[in-house]
Chains A and B, each alone.
Chain A
Amino acid sequence: MSDLVLLLPQLCILSAALLVLIYNTIFRKSTKLTILTLIAVVGSFCSIASAIFLFISQSPTVTIFGDQLVVDGSSLFFSVIISSVTLLVSIASYNYIKPLQNQAEYYSLLLLAAAGMGLMASANSLVIAFVAMELASLPSYALVTYLKNNEGSTESGLKYFLIGALSSAIFVYGSSLIYGATGSLGFTAISESILNTPSLSGLLGIGILMVIGGLAFKTTSVPFHFWAPDAYEGAISPVSAFISSASKAAGFILAFRILIEAFPLDVVSSIGLDWALAIQILAVLTMTLGNFAAALQENVKRMLAYSSIGHAGYVLIGLAALSGSQDTLVIGASMMHLMIYGFMNTGAFLFIALAEHWNVGPTFKDYRGLGSKAPLVSIAMTVFLFSLAGLPTGGGFLTKYVLFMAAVGAGFWWLAAIGAINSALSLYFYTRLVKSLWVDPPISDLNISSKGIPVGIYVAILIAAVVTILSLPFFSPFADFAMAAANILIS
Chain B
Amino acid sequence: MVPISYYILLSAAIFSIGLFGVLTRRNALMFLISIELMLNAANLNFVAFSTLHGNLTGQVFSLFILALAAAEVAVGIGIILVLQRNFSGIDVTKAVTLRW
CB of B96, distance to nearest CB on chain A (Å): 7
Is the C-beta of A229 less than 8 angstroms from some C-beta in chain B? yes
CB of A15, distance to nearest CB on chain B (Å): 21
Given A131-B64, A141-B75, are A158 and B100 neighbors across the interface (CB < 8 Å)?
A: no
Residues of B within 8 A of A297 (CB): 100
Residues of A within 8 A of B4 (CB): 180
Q: Is the CB of A127 within 8 A of B61?
A: yes
Residues of A within 8 A of B71 (CB): 134, 138
Question: Which residue of the partner chain A has the closest CB to B60?
Answer: A127
Instruction: Report the separation of the CA atoms of residues A154 and B50 in the bound assembly, to the nearest whole angstrom.
Output: 40
Which stretch in A27-35, A162-170, A440-448 binds the other chain? A162-170
Instruction: Report the separation of the CA atoms of residues A296 and B100 in the bound assembly, to the nearest whole angstrom.
Output: 9
Q: Is the CB of A177 within 8 A of B45?
A: yes
Instruction: Report the separation of the CA atoms of residues A140 and B42 in the bound assembly, to the nearest whole angstrom.
Output: 24
Instruction: Out of A154, A176, A296, name the residue touching B87 (CB < 8 Å).
Output: A154
With an 8 Å Cβ cutoff, the count of chain A residues facing the other chain is 47
> For residues 206 through 246 of chain A, which have their beta carbon under 8 Å from a beta carbon of chain B?
229-230, 233-234
Q: Is the CB of B64 within 8 A of A151?
A: no
Is the C-beta of B24 less than 8 angstroms from some C-beta in chain A? no
Residues of A within 8 A of B57 (CB): 127, 179, 183-185
Is the C-beta of A393 less than 8 angstroms from some C-beta in chain B? no
Instruction: Report the separation of the CA atoms of residues A162 and B29 in the bound assembly, to the nearest whole angstrom.
Output: 11
Is the C-beta of A341 less than 8 angstroms from some C-beta in chain B? no
User: What is the predominant secondary structure among interface residues of chain B facing chain A?
Assistant: helix
Q: Is the CB of B100 within 8 A of A168?
A: no
Is the C-beta of A142 less than 8 angstroms from some C-beta in chain B? yes
Residue-wise interface mask of A (400-434) relative to B, using a CB-CB cutoff of 8 A (1 in contact, 0 not): 00000000000000000000000000000000000
CB of B53, distance to nearest CB on chain A (Å): 4
Instruction: Report the separation of the CA atoms of residues A10 and B68 in the bound assembly, to the nearest whole angstrom.
Output: 20
Instruction: Out of A155, A166, A169, A184, name the residue touching B95 (CB < 8 Å).
Output: A155
Given A131-B68, A170-B38, are A183 and B53 neighbors across the interface (CB < 8 Å)?
A: yes
27 A-B pairs in the complex with CB atoms less than 8 angstroms apart:
A127-B61, A127-B64, A130-B61, A131-B64, A131-B68, A138-B71, A138-B75, A141-B76, A141-B79, A142-B79, A145-B79, A151-B97, A154-B87, A154-B95, A155-B96, A155-B97, A156-B98, A158-B95, A162-B22, A165-B76, A169-B38, A169-B42, A172-B65, A173-B15, A179-B57, A180-B4, A293-B100
